[in-house]
């Protein structure tokens, strides 16, 4: 009986990410000599799946994987005239930027995780992984604050990626006098539930 209980206790806990409860936002800034004439963009990534696996209750040994559907990324209204949103959306998904038809998935896979507990069910974690975007895989470091409450996991964090690292030249206009910034900050709030799919 004790052997059975030990085996059950050692089983990893898997939290399946719930996209409808989560939030993944990208901020596309502007640069160039005439940047005051351009617009910045907020982009949401609402369609994704993934999981966080926590072996033996040890968050520092966690494994994280997530797959985002590039064609479902959406330019949010608010920072630019509503009539311009469809054109910005088309450019973002087209061959100039994400090339979503050719690269339908954006994948993140963790390689290493370090964590320390700072409170009851609260952890500061550093997730090192690989982001596969636009057919290029590059290392990404993601600091996260993680809360574990019963069967629910909430992880909040941010990171910044460079478009050129993934073979994406920043879109420009006016001979380069207005262009989007190479650096793209990403804000994440990920919600997961143990045993749910």
Instruction: For residue 146, tell me if it sits in a domain.
Output: yes
Cβ proximity of 67 and 48 under 8 Å? yes
Domain assignment present for residue 183? The answer is yes
Q: What is the pLDDT of residue 53?
A: 95
Number of domains the chain contains: 1
pLDDT on residue 78: 73
Q: How far apart are CA 125 and CA 134, in angstroms?
A: 27
Range of the domain at 79: 11-194
- Angle (CA) 192-14-24 rounded to 5° is 30
CATH value at residue 100: 2.40.128.110
95 within domain boundaries = yes
Question: What string of pLDDT tens digits covers the 197 residues of the chain?
Answer: 444 444 445 578 999 999 999 999 999 887 533 343 456 889 999 999 999 999 877 888 899 999 999 999 999 987 667 788 888 899 999 999 999 999 999 999 999 999 999 999 999 999 999 999 999 999 999 999 999 998 999 999 999 999 999 999 988 653 444 578 899 999 999 999 997 66
DSSP bridge pairs for 16: 51, 193
Percent helix, strand and coil across the chain, each to the nearest 5: 20, 50, 25
What is the per-residue pLDDT for 32? 39
Supply 76's token pair.
């949010």
Residue 6 lies in a domain: no
Contact between 36 and 29 (Cβ < 8 Å): no
From residue 6, alpha-carbon distances to 10, 42, 56, 63, 150 in Å are: 6, 48, 10, 22, 20
Structural domain contains residue 5? no
Q: Quick check: is 164 in a domain?
A: yes
- Phi, psi values for residue 174, rounded to 5°: 60, 40
pTM of the shown model? 0.85
Residue 92 lies in a domain: yes
Asked whether residue 85 is domain-assigned, the answer is yes
């Amino acid at each position: 009986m004790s052997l059975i209980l030990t085996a059950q206790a050692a089983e990893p806990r898997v939290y399946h990410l719930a996209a409808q409860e989560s939030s993944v936002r990208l901020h596309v800034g502007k640069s160039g000599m005439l940047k005051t004439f351009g617009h910045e963009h907020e982009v949401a990534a609402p369609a994704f799946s993934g999981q966080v696996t926590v072996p033996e209750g040890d968050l520092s040994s966690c494994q994280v994987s997530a797959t985002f559907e590039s064609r479902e990324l959406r330019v949010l209204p608010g920072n630019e005239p509503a009539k311009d949103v469809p054109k910005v959306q088309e450019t973002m998904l087209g061959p100039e930027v994400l090339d979503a038809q050719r690269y339908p998935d954006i994948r993140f896979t963790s390689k290493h995780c370090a964590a320390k507990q700072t409170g009851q069910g609260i952890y500061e974690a550093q997730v090192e992984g690989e982001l596969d975007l636009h057919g290029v895989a590059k290392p990404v470091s993601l600091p996260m604050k993680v809360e574990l409450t019963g069967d629910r996991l909430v992880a909040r964090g941010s990171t910044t990626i460079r478009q050129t690292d993934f073979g994406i030249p920043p879109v420009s206009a006016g001979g380069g006098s207005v262009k989007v910034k190479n650096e793209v900050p990403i804000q994440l709030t990920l919600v997961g539930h143990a045993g749910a799919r």
